[in-house]
Amino acid sequence: MEEDDEGRTILVSGVPTDFRLEAIQHYFENKSRSNGGPIKGNPKWIGDSGKIIITFQLAKDAENVVQRKVHNIGKYKLHVNWYKILIWQEDAMIVSNGHKDMSEEMLIDFLEKKGKLDVVYVSPRRKPGTFLVYCQNEI
């Protein structure tokens, strides 16, 4: 996954391991069935976990698919959520699901007072209420 794929990449779980990737791709590219759209590249299995990663060409198509949460393909019920690559860094963390109107200042104030953290830098992400936070010391 490339950095510019953030907000366009989803994780599909509950996929039988013998399911054809072409069937998944056709389903999620079909606007009337999945509310999706064109996919960038090909869907990718995550080992034999029953999970697939899909990157859409447009963020809006990914958002539409994720909003639905559950997709039925034949007799299978597939669950969809955002896919994120997490890189462990001991002085940084991702804060998500915050209020959409939360400001950087509000978050810093909360983390320093309640979490007793020495915040160095806060970077808002694309999705409202989501931030990347760097601290002076390990978290």
Rounded distance between C-alpha atoms, residue 43 and residue 54, angstroms: 5
pLDDT of amino acid 2: 62
Instruction: Name the burial class of residue 78, with classes exposed (0-12), middle (13-18) and buried (19+) by CB atoms within 10 angstroms of its CB.
Output: buried
pTM higher than 0.75:
no
Task: Please answer whether residues 40 and 56 qualify as being in contact, where contact means their C-beta atoms are separated by less than 8 angstroms.
Answer: yes
Task: Please answer whether residues 10 and 24 qualify as being in contact, where contact means their C-beta atoms are separated by less than 8 angstroms.
Answer: no
Q: For residue 3, is pLDDT > 60?
A: no
pLDDT tens figures, 9-30: 999 999 998 899 999 999 999 9
User: Mean pLDDT throughout 69-77?
Assistant: 93
pLDDT of amino acid 110: 92
For the chain, where are the alpha helices, taking DSSP H only?
Answer: 21-29, 31-34, 59-68, 104-113
User: Mean pLDDT throughout 104-109?
Assistant: 92
